[in-house]
Chain A
Amino acid sequence: MASTYMGKPYYPAWLDNLADDVTGEGPAWDGAIQGAAAVHEVVVAAKEIYEFQEFHYAGPCGESSFLEDYTSSVRGVPLYVIVLVVFDAAGKAQRLVVNHRPRSSVLVLSRAMNERFAGTPLAKHWEGTP
């Protein structure tokens, strides 16, 4: 899966700098994903489901946050994403909010994640997706 920003490969450095008690929330799931291992696993799984990521912005936001704005697709459906990462006082990623749109694409992704995590403790976040 190609991930590019201004024509060059892009990797989210914050993903390797998660606080132990990081939380992950978003419109595509219910509840908050808790802890570095779970959040890392979910983000990596989502990146595997994305068919590409083309970043329009990745940089500072406010005093202690980082914003990513990118275009993607999932199962052939266009998906637009804004990620807000909030860092703690130690500079670690403390809170992650991943905002997908539009609604139809949110549900396509949610169903794909439900299939991906079926039978695991993380499945609860996507169960019940219509």
Chain B
Amino acid sequence: MTYMGKPYYPLWLDNLADDVTLEAAAMDGTARGADDVRFILVKAREQYEHQEFNYAGPCGENGFIEDYSSSVRGMPTYVVVLVTFNADGKTQHVVVNHRPRSAMLQFSRLMLETFAGTPYAKHWEGTP
């Protein structure tokens, strides 16, 4: 995981608000709460074969954006993550956007496999 040739770690992931929410192009519904959101995001990161960040930095008045290239099961997958902070500077809202459509659907199927039989599976059930 690199940004401008150096190792990169998303600090916002260690600064989640208790009532943080997670939405995504590859998900249905909204995941809520720091424990659930962190668990899902950590599992999602395990699916990536690499992450090459093109940009990671401030966006607007209280946001942070990541724009990175990756691959999942050999398929090129491009991602834009928008993080919004609350008044205390904690991560309040995370939106993860995979593209193109084929890669988004593959990622959704992979997350369904990962979370099958758990309460989290509802976000990926029904993926064609």
> Does B20 reach chain A (CB closer than 8 Å)?
no
Query: Which B residues from 1 to 30 make CB contacts under 8 A with A?
Result: 23-29
Question: Contacts A61-B65, A62-B55, A67-B65 hold; do A99 and B99 have CB atoms under 8 A apart?
Answer: yes
B54: nearest residue on chain A (CB-CB)? A86
> Does B128 reach chain A (CB closer than 8 Å)?
yes
What is the CA–CA distance of A107 and B99 in the complex, to the nearest angstrom?
13
B93-128 contact mask (Cβ, 8 Å, vs A): 1 or 0: 001011111101100100000000000000010111
A100: nearest residue on chain B (CB-CB)? B25
Query: Which A residues from 100 to 114 make CB contacts under 8 A with B?
Result: 100-104, 106-107, 110
CB-CB under 8 A from B58, the residues of chain A are: 62
- The residue in A25, A84, A103, A110 that gathers the most chain B C-beta atoms within 10 A of its C-beta is A103
Pairwise interchain contact B95-A99, C-beta atoms closer than 8 A: yes
> Does A87 reach chain B (CB closer than 8 Å)?
no
Pairwise interchain contact A25-B97, C-beta atoms closer than 8 A: no
CB-CB under 8 A from B104, the residues of chain A are: 27, 103, 106
> Does A97 reach chain B (CB closer than 8 Å)?
yes
Pairwise interchain contact B28-A102, C-beta atoms closer than 8 A: yes
Query: Which A residues from 73 to 121 make CB contacts under 8 A with B?
Result: 80, 82, 84, 97, 99-104, 106-107, 110
> Does A34 reach chain B (CB closer than 8 Å)?
no
What is the CA–CA distance of A69 and B63 in the complex, to the nearest angstrom?
12
> Does A39 reach chain B (CB closer than 8 Å)?
no
Chain B contributes a number of interface residues (CB within 8 A of A) equal to 32
CB-CB under 8 A from B99, the residues of chain A are: 25-27, 97, 99
Min CB distance B108 to A, Å, is 6
Pairwise interchain contact A130-B25, C-beta atoms closer than 8 A: no
Interface residues of B (CB under 8 A from A): 23-29, 55, 57-60, 63, 65, 67, 78, 80, 82, 95, 97-102, 104-105, 108, 124, 126-128
A–B pairs, 27, beta carbons within 8 Å = A25-B100, A26-B99, A26-B100, A27-B25, A27-B99, A30-B101, A60-B60, A62-B59, A62-B65, A69-B82, A97-B78, A97-B99, A99-B95, A101-B24, A101-B27, A101-B97, A102-B23, A102-B27, A102-B28, A103-B24, A103-B28, A103-B104, A103-B108, A103-B127, A106-B25, A128-B102, A130-B105
